[in-house]
Amino acid sequence: MLKERLKGYTIVLASGSPRRQQFLRDLDANFEIRLKEVDEIYPDTLQGAEITDYLAELKAAALEESLSENEILITSDTIVWHESRALGKPKDRDDAFAMLKSLSGKTHEVITSVCIKNEGNSETFNETTRVTFNPLSDEEINYYLDEYQPYDKAGSYGIQEWIGLVAIARIEGSYANVVGMPVDKVYQRLLKFTTK
């Protein structure tokens, strides 16, 4: 369906995330990956979704000059928002352990923003999912870090991995958003984008 509607367009995904790439494959969309290194620095006055909106737009701005007429750019950013603090990707193992320890037995939010842009249009939107963790022992956290090494993931965990099976008591909102992209919203926006 999407492939048919996007005939004549090329989707450019500016993400090295295997999860986001797989989501676009699952939507049966033709896309190419185009990466440009961006310093993910944001004003410290920003809170929650303001952070991810800002970073998604920052990533889009870095690539917009390279877009041709029939290309649609998708950029995205995800954070874990916990106790009024953004948890991005961990710096190292100690940082990852501290993040998971802080999430243990508590509820946090996973916020993803997506910016979709072409030569004439730009739209940024976000999704928030509330995730509640069961209490985790140090042994369980160490096992997860040793076996899965989730250092490329916001908040130091992937819901689709072992930790998602044993640690997550409840989610409120989009599961796909926690994996890395609110795919239903991306699908709907892409359909609208091609009719603008």
Contact by Cβ (8 Å): 143, 132: no
**45/98 Cα distance (integer angstroms):** 24
CB atoms under 10 Å from CB of 150, counted, come to 20
What angle do the packed helices 183-193 and 18-26 form, to 10 degrees?
60
Catalytic residue numbers?
A: 77
CB atoms under 10 Å from CB of 71, counted, come to 17
**132/28 Cα distance (integer angstroms):** 32
CB atoms under 10 Å from CB of 127, counted, come to 23
What angle do the packed helices 138-148 and 93-103 form, to 10 degrees?
130
